[in-house]
Amino acid sequence: MPTSDSLDSDALFELEPAVTQSAGFAELARRPLRELVAADWAEALAPVEGKLRDVLAFLGREVAEGHEVLPPPSNVLRAFGQPLADVRVLIVGQDPYPTPGHAVGLSFAVDGATRPIPRSLANIYKELEADLGLPPRVHGDLRGWAEQGVLLLNRVLSVRAGEAGSHRNKGWEAITAAAISAVADRVTADGSPAPLVAILWGRDAGTVLPLLGSTPVISSAHPSPLSASRGFFGSRPFSHANTLLREQGGGTVDWELPPLP
């Protein structure tokens, strides 16, 4: 490892992103919860606030030790940016894409400029076309779904670049379990369950079933190229979700994404 005397200006410039990332995660660990997530999410996640701060501090240490962490600090809690009260559909993923530049803090989504899109997302688009006749998009920006109350939540919210699953069992699972329970436990003014449909793709997603109570669930194989042909294709999750939402008085989701982000 070079000493400080051997670091020229170019090398220092190369180190800036890692230094910034480390400081960013450490800063998140110190900030009030209400500055990190939507106000009603802050209330729902208060019981696991200490665990959240521990995980964020761990991410700071990961970067300080030379690991690139995805997504960046600005997006690691992005799934909780939309109000909890607005959630109508829950789509559970595993952990973020480990390819640098792909993870954006929403399960299955990527930055709108990413080409080509991940194969799992391409398969999701194929099923969307078969289900609702909506044309596949070349981009992976799923903000249009999130803004309509589709919670795109990974079970684990960070990963080392190039190392899929590297941040499992580091504390995220308790936080996302609390989030899923909070979504499922909401009630309306008359005490009835708030409209909600859960879409669970693959065995990992299926592990959250005990947290969902009486929530209607649509489950199938994962859209990964390794499993999509074993039950994901033909499952019609998007039309089924809208049917279940209508039955609960929750309206419908417009699943069509813009041609370009």
User: Where in the sequence numbering do the catalytic residues fall?
Assistant: 95
Q: For residue 90, give both structure tokens.
A: 């829950």
Distance CA 195, CA 183 (A): 10
Q: What are the Cα distances from residue 215, in Å, to 61, 182, 187, 212?
A: 38, 12, 12, 6
Exposure string (b/e) for 189-223, b if CB count within 10 Å is 16 or more?
eeeeebbbbbbbbbebbeebeebbeebbbbbbbbb
